[in-house]
Every structure is written in structure tokens, then in C-alpha cells.
């Protein structure tokens, strides 16, 4: 078992810089056993951060997480999310209770608003504060908030207790580097990068293959190493098989050179102006 580096949330609590995502898990009964086994294998290898949501598989992904974690709950940092349509004060409290039941736990380590909905932010934050006070969540954050929404949240009463913003971020989706990422970094708010390999769509790119060949690595490992080298970024790739988990974890040992980074910047240039926030 390896020890994965951590970074600090604004509260000072530590969070691993690498974890496992569960989007699209729980959608097929035929794949369920492999999905449980993959998460459990990741935990046995030292991957103690698991990201899920009430939306994934209509709650089934949370049940998969529960089955994979089993009696090792105290070793795991669990992230889950409330859907925007459930994000009123009352709705958030009820959604959290449902997630706790599916996860078979008494607390969620980090609870996120999945994306901005119609309920006022004040209601969602009031629910988050109540859940923290009750010990049902340890920290709260948001997902898919652009720079304008982050500024609004920051000015909302209680909004500066935010722990993270989880957004779509990878080599092909670098728009946040222009304004959102610097804004978060200035306030020591970590970015959680979901879909770090663009659901596999980037892996045939010639430049990724070129850099991977220099290191006897895979394109996925290069894409993940590019993210994990950055300060203040948590990376959460989905891996549905044991072999996939092992491949992704090995990216932590890959050290990209200045030449590699320059090559990747030429193929995937950083933004030169503000861009709308990407979402999947």
C-alpha cells in the first residue's frame, strides 16, 4: 500500500490529491461486481478518496461505494453531491439523509452542490451549516461553479467556508486556468478535476502518445500526471476494473520534464481569454 500525498482544505483538514470517481457506475447490473471490486482494490492500494453523487446511477453508485468500503469506513474520505433540484434547505437535508443511508455511514466527509440550481444559495448554505453542526457532513463545497458564481458565493453569508470547487478540467479543457483557477488559488480553495482523461476521448491524441512513449507510460498516465503535478488540484479519475485502477495510480510516479510540458502546451494550449465553464 502506498501513501498518497495530501493537500489542505481551507479548514486545514487534509485531502488526498488523487482519488477515484464513480460517474456512470451503478448503471448496469452486469458491471456492478467489477465496479465494487475496482473501488475495493483501489482502497487496498492506498487510494482513500472516493467521489460519488446521488445522481450517479440514481443512487446506486453510492451503494456501490458502501459495498466497496465495508468495514474500512474510517480509512476513506467520501465525497458526495446533492442535485440542484434538491438544494433548498429542506431538500438538502433530506437528500443528505438518503445519501447517508445508501452509503451506510453516519457522515459524509465532503458534500457538494452538484451545480447551480434555482433554490437560493442562502438556503443551500443554511442546510450545509446545519449538517456540519449535526456531524452529518464534515465539509461542504460546490461543483461546476464558474467565476461569477464563485464570486457570488463568496459574498453570500457563510460562503467563505467553502472547501472546494469540483469542475471539468483536463488537457483539452483548460479554460479555468484563465480566471477561475487563479481566483481559487488566491483563496486556497482546491480544485477537484473530474473527467481528467475526457472519458478516454483524448487518449488517441498523437502528442499524448509521443510523451507517453518517452516514459514507457500510457497516454492516460501522462494526462493524469499533468494534473497531479499541479498545486491545489485533486484528481478523481473513474476506474471500473482493477487493472484500470493500477494504471491510473501509477501516474503518480510519472515525472514530466520541462520538454514534456512544453510539448503538451503546444498541443493543448492554455487559454488566452475568458472562456465559459465546461461541463459534461
User: Which of these, 125, 53, 48, lies nearest to 89 by C-alpha position?
Assistant: 125
Please answer whether residues 162 and 10 qualify as being in contact, where contact means their C-beta atoms are separated by less than 8 angstroms: yes
Please check whether residue 274 lies inside any domain of the structure: no
Which CATH number goes with the domain that contains 208? 3.20.20.100
Distance CA 82, CA 250 (A): 31
C-alpha cell belonging to residue 272: 488566452
Q: What is the structure's pLDDT at 22?
A: 97
Please check whether residue 108 lies inside any domain of the structure: yes
Residue span of the structural domain in which 177 resides: 6-267
What average pLDDT does the structure give for the chain?
A: 97
Please check whether residue 177 lies inside any domain of the structure: yes
Q: How many CB atoms lie within 10 A of CB 255?
A: 9
Q: Which residues are catalytic?
A: 56
Q: What is the structure's pLDDT at 259?
A: 98
Query: What pLDDT, in 10s, does the model give residues 217-272?
Result: 999 999 999 999 999 999 999 999 999 999 999 999 999 999 999 999 999 999 99
Please check whether residue 251 lies inside any domain of the structure: yes
Total number of domains constituting the chain = 1
Please check whether residue 30 lies inside any domain of the structure: yes
Distances (CA, A) of 277 to 147, 174, 211, 272: 8, 10, 28, 14
At residue 212, φ and ψ (nearest 5 deg) are: -60, -40
How much of the chain, in percent, has pLDDT values that exceed 90? 99
Please check whether residue 255 lies inside any domain of the structure: yes
pTM of the predicted model, to two decimals?
0.97
Please check whether residue 277 lies inside any domain of the structure: no
Q: What is the mean pLDDT of residues 33-41?
A: 97
How much of the chain, in percent, has pLDDT values that exceed 70? 100
Residue 2 has pLDDT above 90, yes or no: no
Residue 160 has pLDDT above 90, yes or no: yes
Strands (E), 45-147: 49-51, 77-82, 108-113, 137-143
pLDDT tier at 66, thresholds 50, 70, 90: very high
Distance CA 130, CA 132 (A): 5
At residue 8, φ and ψ (nearest 5 deg) are: -100, 135
Distance CA 83, CA 76 (A): 23
Q: What is the structure's pLDDT at 43?
A: 97
Please check whether residue 50 lies inside any domain of the structure: yes
Amino acid at each position: 500500500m502506498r501513501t498518497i500525498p495530501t493537500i489542505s482544505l481551507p479548514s486545514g483538514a487534509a485531502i488526498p490529491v488523487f482519488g477515484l470517481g464513480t460517474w456512470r457506475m451503478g448503471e448496469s447490473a452486469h458491471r456492478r461486481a467489477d465496479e465494487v471490486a475496482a473501488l475495493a482494490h483501489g482502497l487496498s492500494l492506498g487510494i482513500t478518496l472516493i467521489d460519488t453523487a446521488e445522481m450517479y446511477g440514481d443512487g446506486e453508485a453510492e451503494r456501490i461505494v458502501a459495498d466497496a468500503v465495508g468495514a474500512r469506513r474510517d480509512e476513506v474520505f467520501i465525497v458526495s453531491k446533492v442535485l440542484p433540484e434538491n438544494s433548498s434547505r429542506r431538500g438538502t437535508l433530506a437528500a443528505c439523509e438518503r445519501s447517508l443511508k445508501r452509503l451506510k455511514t453516519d457522515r459524509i466527509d465532503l458534500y457538494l452542490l452538484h451545480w447551480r440550481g434555482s433554490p437560493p444559495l442562502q438556503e443551500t448554505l443554511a442546510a450545509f451549516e446545519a449538517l456540519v453542526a449535526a456531524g452529518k457532513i464534515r465539509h461542504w463545497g460546490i461543483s461546476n461553479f464558474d467565476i461569477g458564481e464563485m464570486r457570488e458565493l463568496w459574498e453570500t453569508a457563510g460562503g467563505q467556508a467553502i472547501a472546494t470547487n469540483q469542475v471539468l478540467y483536463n488537457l483539452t479543457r483548460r479554460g479555468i486556468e484563465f480566471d477561475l483557477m487563479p481566483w481559487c488559488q488566491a483563496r486556497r480553495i482546491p480544485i477537484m478535476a473530474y473527467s481528467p482523461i475526457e472519458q478516454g476521448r483524448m487518449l488517441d491524441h498523437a502528442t499524448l502518445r509521443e510523451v507517453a512513449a518517452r516514459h514507457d507510460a500510457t497516454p492516460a498516465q501522462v494526462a493524469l500526471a499533468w494534473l497531479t503535478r499541479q498545486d491545489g488540484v485533486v484528481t478523481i479519475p473513474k476506474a471500473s476494473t482493477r487493472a484500470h485502477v493500477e494504471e491510473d495510480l501509477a501516474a503518480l510516479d510519472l515525472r514530466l520534464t520541462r520538454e514534456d510540458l512544453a510539448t503538451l502546451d503546444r498541443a493543448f494550449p492554455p487559454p488566452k481569454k475568458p472562456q465559459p465553464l465546461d461541463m459534461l
